[in-house]
Amino acid sequence: MDIGAWWEWTTDWLSDAQNVLFVVIALVMVFAALRVVTSPNVVHATLMLVLALGGSAALFLMLGAEFVAWALVLVYIGAVVVLFLFGIMITRAPTGRDPVSLDHKRRWPAALVALTTFVTLASVSVAAFEDRVIENTVSRTGDLGDLLFSRFVMPFEAVSFVLLAALIGGIVIARKDPE
Amino acid sequence: MTVSQFLVLGALLFSIGIYGVLVRRNAVLVLLSVELMLAAVNINLVAFGAFLQDSLLSGQAFALFVITIAAAEVGIGLAIIVLIFRNRSSANVDELDLMRW
């Protein structure tokens, strides 16, 4: 595809308001994700994860998956991030500016692996799906609930059992042994 | 909206997460990067679900399962990190050489 056709396609793509919204959310998410992996401050990294996950909740709303979006906000931003902050406080991770002890010195091999992964995944998925359009699909939360308790009831029960086991296991692992 | 834009964003977030897992020394930050990778997978699942117009809503159902498993993983992972910190007074992954031969 030459430059002119590419430019025409891009301006055409950006003329849709949803795509402009997508670009804004994607830029915020990528910035937040980069800060999660590069921030010298542990608490800042955790709070940036909130921003990245909020962006993905916004994308779910754009894709018409309301229940998943709000479940993500409740479970991740409400519970998991608070758990992470507790973990940081309990392990007394260096919360000041101390980049030496937070990162390895060998950054370039890791960056090379990440870049190779990105190029592979992105080129394969773009080559496979080119510009197939997602039709506007708003799904009803009630339908999802019905499906969770009919078609997906066995995985649902299995997942709830895993969650119970993880709860008990977490208590057993983390508590102090009584002398 | 095309499918590719969501897939490329997912790939980008996933590779940023891989970078974080490889480069961070603190175990809590490694878990944070894993969460980033799981979020990228969720974006892919929901985007494919919307694209395929699935009447069973499998994409969203599996995204919910991934969220649940991720919550369990964080709980167990942080418990293990707290235990390691209590025993070795350090949560750095490169100092955990207890099982090195």
Query: ipTM of this model?
Result: 0.90
Nearest-angstrom CA–CA distance, B1 and B45 = 16
Enter the pTM of the model: 0.90
Of B50, B68, B64, B41, the residue nearest A147 (C-alpha)? B64
CB-based contact B28 A170, cutoff 8 Å: no
Give the CATH number, domain containing residue B84: 1.10.287.3510
- Rounded-to-integer distance, Cα A58 and Cα A54, Å: 6
Q: Give the pair of three-digit tokens for residue A105.
A: 């010195």
Query: pLDDT class for A139, splitting at 50, 70, 90?
Result: confident
CB contact at 8 A, B13 and A33? yes
What local confidence, expressed as pLDDT, does residue B47 receive? 93
Structural domains counted in chain B? 1
Residue A2 in this model has a pLDDT that exceeds 70:
yes
pLDDT of residue A179: 62
**pLDDT-derived band of residue A101, with 50, 70 and 90 as boundaries?**
low
Q: Is residue B46 situated within a structural domain?
A: yes
B42 part of contact set with chain A, CB < 8 Å: yes
- Inter-chain residue contact A173 with B75, CB threshold 8 Å: no
Asked whether residue B101 is assigned to any structural domain, the reply reads: no
Minimal Cα–Cα distance from A110 to chain B, Å? 5
Rounded to whole angstroms, the maximal C-alpha distance in chain A is 75
* Cα separations in angstroms, A21 against A16, A68, A120, A131, B92: 9, 19, 26, 18, 39
Residue B20 falls inside a structural domain: yes
CA distance between the termini of chain B: 53
Each residue's pLDDT tens digit, A13-65: 888 888 899 999 999 999 999 999 998 888 899 999 999 999 999 999 999 89
According to the CATH classification, is domain A3-106 in 1.20.120.1200? yes
How many CB atoms lie under 10 A from the CB of residue B30?
19
Nearest residue in A to B57, CA atom: A144
- Interface residue B38 vs chain A (CB under 8 A): no
Give yes or no for A15 touching B (CB within 8 A).
no
The total of other beta-carbon atoms located within 10 Å of residue A67's CB is 20
| Residue B82, in any domain of the structure | yes
For residue B89, give both structure tokens: 């007074």
For the four alpha carbons of A44, A47, A49 and A55, in that order, the dihedral sign comes to negative
Model confidence pLDDT, tens digit, residues B44-73: 999 999 999 888 889 999 999 999 999 999
A83 phi and psi, to 5 degrees? -60, -40
Whether residue B18 lies inside any domain: the answer is: yes
Please name every residue paired with B2 in a beta bridge, in sequence order, or none if there are none: A133
Give the residues across from A103 on adjacent strands: B24
- B35 domain-assigned: yes
The shortest C-alpha distance from A147 to chain B (Å) reads: 7
**Domain that includes residue B13, residue range:** 3-95
Give residue A96's pLDDT: 57
Q: Does residue A100 carry a pLDDT above 70?
A: no
CA distance A141 to A137: 12
| Spatial CB neighbours of A63, under 8 Å, sequence gap ≥ 6 | A134, A137, B6, B46, B47, B49, B50
Q: Is A99 a residue whose pLDDT tops 60?
A: no
Q: Nearest CA to B24 among B78, B83, B101, B94?
A: B94
Contact assessment for residue B77 and residue A170, using Cβ atoms and an 8 Å cutoff: no
Band of residue B39 on the pLDDT scale cut at 50, 70, 90: very high
How large is the angle between the packed helices A17-38 and B3-23, nearest 10 degrees? 10
Residue B69, pLDDT score: 93
First to last CA, chain A: 71
What is the spatial distance between Cα B1 and Cα B11, in angstroms, rounded to a whole number?
17
What pLDDT score does A30 carry?
95
